[in-house]
Amino acid sequence: MRPSRLLVSALLAVLVAPGVSAAAPSRRPRVDPEAMREAIDAGSTDEGRYASSASYTNYLQSRLKHHAGDHRGAVDALRLALATDDGNPLLLTRLGEEYARLGDLTRAERELRRAVLRAPAYYPAHVLLGRVLTESKRFARARLHLRRAVTLKPREPEAYLVLTQLHLEMGAPDEAVKVVDALALALPGEASGYQRLGLALAERGDTARAERLLVEAATRAPGDVDVLTALAQLYEDTGRPVQAEESLARALERDPDSREVLLGAGRAALKAGSAVRARAYFDRLLSLSSEPEMPVRVAFSYLAAREPRAAAEVLEAARRGDHADPRLAYYAGLVHERMRRFADAAEAFAGVPAEADVYADARLRRARSLSLLGEHSRALTLFRAAMQESPADVEVRMQFARALERGGTPNRAELLLREGLSAGPSAALYDALAATLHRQGRGREALTLLRGAVARFPRDEDLLYVLGAAHERQGDVTGALARMRAVLAVSPDHAAALNFLGYLLAQAGQNLDEAERRVRRALELRPDTGAYLDSLGWVYFRRGDYARAVDALERASTLAPDEPVILEHLGDAYQRVARTDDAAAVWRRALEVLTLDPESAEPPGQRAALERKLNALPTRAPDR
């Protein structure tokens, strides 16, 4: 989460983030310059009176430099203005603002103190001084000036909002709520305080308070689109998509053409389980926009909801448009590839022109799709072109070698990989060569190769990991466990090794507490990784905690849909909690994927194992 800076309209715009990082002690505390750009512009509309035309001229020069981003120049101009108009509170406040924008809070505070001494009733100086002092963590003094500002202009919201953020910085949310309640009393119908504090508390995880405040904001401003979308976001974040969609539907009554609201409503409808309502929102959205990014965003929304066919339809329709962007072909190819529809993927990738920035990747993916379809000649032609252009690209070399192997020339594949290794060591190339040798029945030779590489580079964590994976492919679980522990001895936070170790322990039914600990650490390092959640679900399964296994494996399947291993494990867990129909459904889906992409089987005999499980399910009696 990105920290917000207190000296900015982040206070006036969102009031987010849990605080300001403490800077190392220095004369000039570090300040986010972006955070300063909106500082007092809204509060200092009174241009005041000037002692001379020279003072006013220099003031105008300072404003021009301010808007050009030249804050050092603005400081110089303001000093010239003050030379003939010493003590002008507006000039002093503007000077304090410029120093704050430059990150010099010490000088900013000095000038602002001069301003409030010369003009104790000057509201903008008190507000900005409160911000500067809050940024410096001098909360008590900041509170004095902000309360003074509230007293001076009780119907101006700015000081209330800064004071609200101050209480959040101090860890006093109840006091922050009191401030926005006071703002609401001073300005009946005012909703911004409730909205902004609600958002801030939601980001801090205080969802109960946040919801109450946002509901109050929506009550006070029933047609405020920003309030309704903020409330919808809270509902979505707390797993209530139906309420999120309802809130966004109310926002659309006020602004039916809001693209962001339509997109959010479509996503919420998908999460609520209504593809029909989602399509209505998305169709309306796509009719309003000709930008190529919009069909992509809609397609990715469908993908996130595990609706790849709908995603493909959106992209293909966009590709047929009058002003189709070449990137649409690329994204359509990615969707088809994910669905294992390799013929459609190859056709889509072929639509990416050579001048497009994604052409190189599109050509590589097209070549792989053709290879998987058995069109080896066309695939190899594309791979050769890619190799000529990028001979040092490890990914291109590995994919080319795999295509050669599929095409019936494993010796050429091996030679290609060894040529790459002769140019320089690469854990990825060693892994590809070891896997190639293993598929040719030369697993022992693969282990010898990798042991030699590890002997030359004994602390290369990735090589150690590759050697562990090779042991596991050979069925040597003990050797694999030892090698994964060796990885962690070199790199304790190697997420893949932590996950692999945990999964191997679970598979072997050994030390399940350690297995869970290792997998959880991997998830801390790489949250929301489908493979790691699958491992966690498998730990629960092996422990006999089938309900938690179902939960973890369902989340894994959401993150990595159509992965045969995850689907098989999820079916196993469903079967144990007596959800036989669900088990059969996900096992059948796994078989469909394996039909389209046999190489995704893990282990190689996975298809036969799935068929046995399905055949063993009890047959339903016919309805009477």
d(CA 294, CA 546): 41
Q: Does residue 351 form part of some domain?
A: no
d(CA 261, CA 249): 8
Q: Does residue 371 form part of some domain?
A: no
| 103 DSSP 8-state letter | T
| Residue keyed to tokens 């009780």 | 154
**Amino acid 296: pLDDT:** 85
Can you list the alpha helix ranges (DSSP code H) found in 187-292?
192-203, 207-220, 225-237, 241-254, 259-271, 275-288
d(CA 321, CA 139): 58
**Amino acid 207: pLDDT:** 80
Contact between residue 576 and residue 546 where contact means Cβ atoms under 8 Å apart: yes
Nearest to 463 by CA among 475, 471, 451: 451
Q: Give residue 600's domain range.
A: 493-616
Q: Does residue 459 form part of some domain?
A: no
Ramachandran sector of residue 274 (left: φ over 0; alpha: ψ -120 to 50; beta: rest): beta
Q: Does residue 464 form part of some domain?
A: no
| Residue keyed to tokens 């809001």 | 258
Contact between residue 77 and residue 59 where contact means Cβ atoms under 8 Å apart: yes
Contact between residue 72 and residue 61 where contact means Cβ atoms under 8 Å apart: no
| 599 DSSP 8-state letter | G
d(CA 342, CA 353): 19
Contact between residue 397 and residue 416 where contact means Cβ atoms under 8 Å apart: yes
The secondary element (H helix, E strand) that includes residue 130 is: helix 123-135
**DSSP states of 324-355:** --HHHHHHHHHHHHHTT-HHHHHHHHHTS-TT
Contact between residue 119 and residue 148 where contact means Cβ atoms under 8 Å apart: no
Final residue of a structural domain among 204, 221, 251 = 204
With the C-alpha atoms ordered 481, 482, 485, 487, is the resulting torsion angle positive or negative? negative
Whole-number CA gyration radius for the chain: 31
Q: 3-state secondary structure string, 141-160? A: HHHHHHHHHHHHCCCCHHHH
Calculate ∠ Cα 137-198-153, nearest 5°. Answer: 65
Residue 613 structure tokens:
């499980």
Q: Does residue 546 form part of some domain?
A: yes
Q: Counting runs of H as helices and runs of E as strands, what totals does the chain give? A: 35, 0
How much of the chain is in helix, strand and coil states, percent to nearest 5? 70, 0, 30
Calculate ∠ Cα 487-490-492, nearest 5°. Answer: 80
**Amino acid 559: pLDDT:** 86
d(CA 536, CA 519): 6
Calculate ∠ Cα 182-184-190, nearest 5°. Answer: 150
d(CA 285, CA 261): 9
**Amino acid 51: pLDDT:** 67
Length of the chain: 624
Report the Cα 581 to chain-centroid distance in Å.
34
**Amino acid 204: pLDDT:** 79
CATH code assigned at 558: 1.25.40.10
Contact between residue 237 and residue 269 where contact means Cβ atoms under 8 Å apart: no
Can you list the alpha helix ranges (DSSP code H) found in 509-605?
512-525, 530-543, 546-559, 564-576, 580-596
Distance from first CA to last CA of the chain, Å, rounded? 59
Nearest to 130 by CA among 99, 153, 158: 158
Q: Does residue 173 form part of some domain?
A: yes
**Amino acid 308: pLDDT:** 84
Segments of the chain with pLDDT less than 70: 1-51, 322-324, 620-624
- pTM of the predicted protein model: 0.66
Q: Residue 202 phi/psi, 5° resolution?
A: -65, -40
Give the contacts of 376 (CB within 8 A, at least 6 positions apart).
370, 403, 406, 407, 408
Q: Does residue 504 form part of some domain?
A: yes
374-383 contacts: CB < 8 A, separation 24 or more? 374/406, 376/403, 376/406, 376/407, 376/408, 379/403, 379/407, 380/404, 380/407
Residue 563 structure tokens:
């992965």
pLDDT digits (tens, 9 = 90+) for 94-132: 999 999 999 999 999 999 999 999 999 999 999 999 999
Final residue of a structural domain among 173, 204, 235 = 204
Q: Does residue 229 form part of some domain?
A: no
Report the Cα 80 to chain-centroid distance in Å.
48
SS3 state at 323: coil
Final residue of a structural domain among 150, 175, 204 = 204
**Amino acid 289: pLDDT:** 82
Domain tally, the chain: 2
Can you list the alpha helix ranges (DSSP code H) found in 255-393?
259-271, 275-288, 293-304, 308-319, 326-338, 342-350, 359-372, 376-389
